[in-house]
Amino acid sequence: MRILVLGGDGYCGWPTALHLSVRGHTVAILDSFVRRLWDHEIGVESLTPIRSLRERVLLWEELTGDRLAVFVADLQDHQALSRALGEFEPDAVVHFAEQRSAPYSMIDREHAVFTQVNNVVGTLNLLYALRERCPECHLVKLGTMGEYGTPNIDIEEGFLEVEHNGRRDLLPYPKQPGSFYHLSKVHDSHNIMFACRLWGLRSTDLNQGIVYGTLTPEITRHPGLINRFDYDGIFGTALNRFCVQAAIGHPLTVYGRGGQTRGFLDIRDTVRCIELAVLNPPAAGEYRVFNQFTEQFSVGELAERVRLAAAPLGLSVALRNLPNPRVEREHHYYRAAHTRLHDLGLEPHLLSDTLLHSLLEVALRYRDRVRPEVILPDVDWRRPGRGRGGQTRS
């Protein structure tokens, strides 16, 4: 198949492109490199020293003989996006090309507006470009479990059968997003579903849990292929951040009481889920949703597992509860369905001590690059602005 990966320079996009390439697909990457610009803007960098996309693509070709075509374009530029689709003629488009940080979207008005415009308008441009250039193409869109929030009922995979006043219907599952970023993903879902109904497009919306890890079999082929590893308070995910804190002797910072429960998955399962969705496309006009995670943990449970796994490596780790910068329930019911990808053949990599040791070893290998001052949260949902350095923007 011919597969175009939007956002292919990023944390999920780069390993996905390699995973699909090594399995015989013709893969192209489209990226504007804005994710690297955001690092400069907020004053952080990846724990791992990632090379430029050009260097990584050339190295991949040297190692495998497989060429990854690269299109430099932004989804805000509809004409450039449309040209890329027309030139490459993909059978599937994998869409990672969005601002994906909840804290970034909550910094202030400017960042909330930017996140919603970037994500919602970019996806609208993509939908129109698909209609114009390749209406039979399958859109695989990375959504988020954060669209659902934490309802006091079971979370289904996208849709909920409802009986009301003697009548029954299958309706989109109610959404309770927790940030302006998560709201942008809800808007995306509605727009994609509408475009499928309106124009007969086909799409799979993958509501993904929190991803951890940085290594896939393809990434481990050469140090120059290494993926990014974010640990800061804005782009860093919980488990990656805890492993970095353990490596440098910093207490593991648990927000609030630590009962916040979410779905999690290994980066190796992310790329496999994408492949399974691509290989099993929906019918024309169909919009479907898969919940993409393999296990669920509370934040406190996750921190305790890191603490225990760090001990055999000679790391003495403490836990510290911080005031929660987010507005969220800290103890709640959480049970989400996630069977559809398993039914397609997903064999998950569950969070074991061996896997935790491998994550800790990555953190230890690069701990000279850690900047402790960027780990703690400096964005408060209740007060626009950033706390670090006393700078506030509105």
pLDDT tens string 226-244: 999 999 999 999 999 999 9
The predicted-structure confidence for 109-139, as pLDDT tens digits, reads as follows 999 999 999 999 999 999 999 999 999 999 9
Q: What pLDDT does residue 389 have?
A: 37
C-alpha–C-alpha distance, residues 212 and 235, integer Å? 12
C-alpha–C-alpha distance, residues 25 and 23, integer Å? 6
Q: What pLDDT does residue 169 have?
A: 98
**181 included as an active-site residue:** yes
Would you place residue 192 in the very low, low, confident or very high pLDDT band (cuts 50, 70, 90)?
very high
Rounded mean pLDDT of the chain? 96
Residue of 185, 212, 237, 294 marked catalytic: 185
**Which candidate, 300, 303, 297, places its Cα nearest to that of 245?**
303
Q: What pLDDT does residue 222 have?
A: 98
Q: What pLDDT does residue 78 have?
A: 98
Above 80 in pLDDT, residue 390?
A: no
Residue of 11, 148, 181, 366 marked catalytic: 181
Give exposure, 162-173, as e/b (b: 16+ Cβ within 10 Å): eeeeeeeeeeeb
Averaged pLDDT for residues 42-70:
98
Cα distances from 299 to residues 61, 113, 253, 333, 365, in angstroms, run 40, 29, 10, 14, 25
- The helix/strand/coil state of 308 is helix
The predicted-structure confidence for 261-320, as pLDDT tens digits, reads as follows 999 999 999 999 999 999 999 999 999 999 999 999 999 999 999 999 999 999 999 999
Residue of 48, 115, 123, 144 marked catalytic: 144
Would you place residue 387 in the very low, low, confident or very high pLDDT band (cuts 50, 70, 90)?
confident
Prediction pTM value: 0.97
Cα distances from 113 to residues 35, 276, 391, in angstroms, run 17, 34, 19
Residues 6+ apart with CB under 8 A from 305: 297, 351, 356
**11 included as an active-site residue:** no
Q: Are 30 and 54 in contact (CB under 8 A)?
A: no
**334 included as an active-site residue:** no
The predicted-structure confidence for 315-367, as pLDDT tens digits, reads as follows 999 999 999 999 999 999 999 999 999 999 999 999 999 999 999 999 999 99
Q: What pLDDT does residue 393 have?
A: 38
- For the chain, give the longest Cα–Cα distance: 64
Residue the block writes with tokens 């990375």: 142
